[in-house]
Amino acid sequence: MNAKIKYEFSAQTWQHTSPGGWCFISLPTIMAAEIRTALQSEEEGWGRLKALAKTGNSEWKTAIWFDTKMNTYLLPIKAEIRKKEAISAGKTIQVILWL
């Protein structure tokens, strides 16, 4: 992946309501609108954009997905990263994304 654009933000983690639901961070809507305008042509199925994410000392390859109901991109936070960085639902974390 050729990471081109760097985004930094803080957001609160939340957990999907399904059993064993994934944890996510919703990107700020203004940032998401900027990303969608610039990179929508690069989206894959379901509004997916490949990304490199970092929080704390952990960096991982991932993707963000555009959620039309929330009108923003969602970044899944892997269990391995949540464990390493002591992240639980409701915690505000600093994230760096390269798209």
The rounded Cα 94 to chain-centroid distance in angstroms is: 11
**Percent of the chain clearing pLDDT 90 (strictly above):** 79
The DSSP code sequence of 48-62 is EEEEEEEETTEEEEE
pLDDT at position 1 over 60? no
Q: Using one digit for the tens of pLDDT, what is the confidence trace for 15-35?
A: 988 777 789 999 999 999 999
Closest CA to 34 of 5, 62, 59: 5
Segment 45-53 mean pLDDT:
91
pLDDT at position 87 over 60? yes
Which of residues 67 and 1 earns the better pLDDT score? 67
Provide the token pair at 48. 């997916």
CA distances in angstroms from 75 to 32, 70, 97, listed in the order given: 11, 13, 9
With bands split at pLDDT 50, 70 and 90, how would you rate the model's confidence at 3? low
